[in-house]
A and B are shown apart, each in its own frame.
Chain A
């Protein structure tokens, strides 16, 4: 059973883990704790067994209705998890969310679980530093199965960039001119609501005859496809960075000042990124990267610490899940 209790993020959590659990071939259900998410998920996945339980008694009913239930996977550590954690016959495993390995404040309440599965050594070390006596709790690195393809895809298209920035404060303009000047083929992500910027960009590239070089895109799905093949990524979105690093290409981060650089989370990524603020700094970086990539090793090291590349590639999550269920 996949249990997710955060009303605002339930759908995101399910979407993050669902395909990985499906790949394991194990019969599973999903238990959510708010009605709105339940409605949304049942619409999105009409063939899945999805349950909604509001109260402790509802949870008991759900558990009693599933006599073959063996394992519960938890995405977030919330107060209402207690309603399930009291069942001694079930194995309770915390698997976290997309960013929980570096955003969570680990505390003693995690000891209620039987096992804690993390992407890599980074979360395990943080956990041990936060909680001195972990007792019975088994800490396991299992990689992040969601990044497997990012790591495996190595055929990069030379002199291409993917641009993921919030179009404000003239950042986008700086990137546009730098890409043109350096003759890069550039995919610029502009969400639907930025239609006017999209039209401006399309019009100028057509007039200038560089429509095949600067390509605005509006859907997230296409962005994922481009991320695999571009030779560098330019961004100002600090939340995406750990996952952007898994594509194996240089990541050029826009920062307003030095302080912003030191506030990046998780802190270990700070030395594996290229930073720029002014137009000329971006030009200098693009020229440098045309010749060499001095942070390549550092990037690989960080990705390994955060996500454990080998375990991610070799389906450790799936293997562990199957093994756990078989052993019970």
Chain B
């Protein structure tokens, strides 16, 4: 059948074949592998008016970044598409969110081909700073918005590269202060407070005092960070935390202990890959009610069932803050820690420790003796860091709709 006769006799088939040819096959099967391919799409239809694009340039580990935002993009009821740059991640997202429109574009040419098909695209959203974001940033007519994947005082939170974006969506005033205190001009970057939509439920739970939750039980949660891409960002307590569990296991302070390591622990320092096994061996016959959470377990879910936290410097501090409970933060003393400071330091609202002895002393004072002396400051930090009001008022969804409506 010639193209012309196909158009006359079966227009649906004609257009289907045309798009197949132009975009590669439209893959609706979750079993088809993209291994070795440089482009693939799932449920992409160029006749839809996609207005928002959520992009991650990470490899398979980028799933946690997407998990943070996809539910809220869905809740906003906007026409959005997710673009990934790694075929393994493409398969993971397709499996986890079969209702989404998904694109896999390996290189800049593939990105270009898809963007040119989305005539109504208004904004691209970036949860992390990766080099390949550049392939989208070259489209000047689209708004480029950094949404991040958490909120922390790490140096990665506020640096000059952020200026490539049109807008930086932050949780609260704290993140804007990090930019103000970083010592460079960012006048072209619009800062927009949107709260932390994934923490809304936790914020609602936090309205009950932490001592009264879970029938008065004390559920401890340890959340480590990883060793960082750069030495200057190595804030992890993983090197010493086994000593803490050794100390605590016979003391009967906590009713349950949860442990969740950052999914990337061991990425730079492979010695750390054995941490989970080591902790398991330590606690398995101790009589402690403990749980070693899988790396895929969303942090916000386990935060909701915990009321005491031990954290490293990372975005999990602000996640834990939403629960409004005592937080013990590891601050390594021997290292020259470079932080992009907001106007509230960790010492203001968390119990900072640099050694296991110090941690044990503070747990004794705050938990055992019941002297939660930073409770008031913590409340203040919840607004300043998390944007409590914006979170409870669904500001993120409101801002997504603003883009859709073309409001500035």
Chain A interface residues toward B at CB < 8 A: 56-57, 60, 77-83, 85-89, 92, 105, 107-112, 114, 130-131, 133-137
A131 to B140: give the CA distance in the assembly, Å. 7
- Taking A81-B131, A135-B189 as given, write out 17 further A-B residue pairs in contact, using a Cβ cutoff of 8 Å, ordered by the A residue number: A60-B231, A79-B132, A82-B161, A86-B156, A86-B161, A87-B160, A88-B158, A88-B159, A105-B138, A108-B138, A108-B140, A109-B134, A112-B163, A131-B140, A135-B163, A135-B188, A136-B185
Are A136 and B188 in contact, with the CB atoms below 8 A?
Answer: yes
- Chain B residues positioned under 8 Å from A87 (CB to CB): 159-160
Distance in angstroms between the alpha carbons of A92 and B138 in the assembled complex: 19
Which residues of A have CB within 8 Å of B184?
A: 88, 114, 136
Choice from A79, A86, A133, A135 contacting B159 with Cβ under 8 Å: A86
In the assembled complex, the Cα of A135 lies from the Cα of B162 at a distance in Å of 12
B21 to chain A, nearest CB (A): 28
* B281 interface residue (CB < 8 Å to A): no
A63 CB to closest chain B CB, in angstroms? 10
User: Which residues from A are CB-within-8-Å of B160?
Assistant: 85-88, 92, 112, 114
In the bound complex, residues from chain A placing their C-beta under 8 Å from that of B132 are: 79
Please measure, in the bound complex, the distance between the C-alpha atom of A57 and the C-alpha atom of B231, giving whole angstroms. 8
The listed residue (B161, B165, B232) touching A85 by CB distance below 8 A is: B161
- Say yes or no: A107 contacts B137, CB within 8 Å: yes
Given A56-B229, A57-B229, A79-B134, A108 and B187 contact (CB-CB distance below 8 Å): no
Does B67 have its Cβ within 8 Å of any Cβ on chain A?
A: no
A105-B139 Cα distance, complex, nearest whole Å: 10
Q: A111-B164, A112-B160 are in contact. Are A135 and B232 (CB under 8 A)?
A: no
Instruction: Give Cα A105–Cα B189 distance, bound, in whole angstroms.
Output: 21
Residues of B with C-beta under 8 A to A57: 229-231, 268
Nearest-CB residue, chain B, relative to A55 = B229
Q: Closest CB-CB distance, A69 to chain B, in whole Å?
A: 15
A133 to chain B, nearest CB (A): 5
Among the listed A77, A83, A92, A130, which residue makes an inter-chain contact with B140, where contact means beta carbons less than 8 Å apart?
A130
Interface size class of B (residues with CB under 8 A): 20 to 34
Residue numbers in A under 8 Å from B188 (CB-CB): 111, 133-137
**Chain B residues numbered 98-144 whose CB sits less than 8 Å from any CB in chain A:** 129-132, 134-135, 137-140, 144
Q: Are B138 and A79 in contact (CB under 8 A)?
A: no
The yes or no answer to B264 lying at the interface (CB within 8 A) is no
**Which chain B residues lie closer than 8 Å to A111 at the CB level?**
163-164, 188
B340 (CB) vs chain A CBs: closest residue: A88
> Shortest distance in angstroms between A296's beta carbon and chain B's nearest beta carbon?
37
Residues in chain B near residue A85, CB distance under 8 A: 159-161
Chain B residues whose C-beta falls within 8 Å of the C-beta of A79 in the assembled complex: 131-132, 134-135
Once A and B bind, how many residue pairs between them come within 8 Å at the CB atom?
A: 88
Instruction: Tell me whether B186 is interfacial, beta carbon within 8 Å.
Output: yes
Bound Cα distance A247, B159 (Å) = 43
Chain A residues whose C-beta falls within 8 Å of the C-beta of B268 in the assembled complex:
57
CB distance A107 to B163 under 8 Å?
no
- Centre residue among B160, B183, B188, B230 by max chain A CB count within 10 A: B160
Are B187 and A135 in contact, with the CB atoms below 8 A? yes
Enumerate B169-205 residues with CB–CB distance to A below 8 Å: 182-189
Q: How far is the CA of A81 from the CA of B163 in the complex (A)?
A: 14
With an 8 A cutoff between CB atoms, is B166 at the interface?
A: yes
In the bound complex, residues from chain A placing their C-beta under 8 Å from that of B229 are 56-57
Q: Please give, as numbers and ranges, the residues of chain B lying within 8 Å of A131 by CB-CB distance.
A: 140
Residues of A within 8 A of B183 (CB): 88-89
**A130 CA / B160 CA spacing, docked (Å):** 21
Residues of B within 8 A of A134 (CB): 188
- Residues of A near B134 (CB, < 8 A) are 77-79, 82, 109
- Kindly report which residue of chain A lies nearest to residue B228, judged by CB atoms: A57
The minimal Cβ–Cβ distance linking B148 to chain A, given in whole angstroms, is: 15
**B138→A107 contact, CB < 8 A:** yes
Fill in one digit per residue for B213-239: 1 if any A CB lies within 8 Å of its CB, else 0.
Answer: 000000000000000011110000000
Contact present for B230 and A60 (CB under 8 Å)? yes
Decide: A133 near B164, CB < 8 A? Known: A60-B231, A86-B156, A88-B184. Answer: no
Alpha-carbon gap, A56 to B155, bound state (A): 15
Best-buried of A83, A108, A110 by chain B (most CB within 10 Å): A108
| In the complex, chain B residues whose CB is within 8 Å of the CB of A114 | 160, 184-185
Known: A114-B160, A133-B166. A82 touches B129 (CB 8 A): yes
Cα A251 to Cα B137 with chains together (Å)? 38
Chain B 258-299 residues near chain A, CB threshold 8 A: 268
11 contacts between A and B (CB under 8 A): A57-B231, A60-B232, A82-B134, A86-B156, A88-B183, A108-B137, A108-B166, A109-B138, A114-B185, A131-B140, A135-B186
Q: Chain B residues near A82: list those with CB within 8 A.
A: 129-131, 134, 161
With beta carbons under 8 angstroms apart, the residue of B131, B156, B182 that contacts A80 is: B131
CA distance A114 to B159 in the complex (A): 12
Cα separation A105 to B137 with both chains bound (whole Å):
11
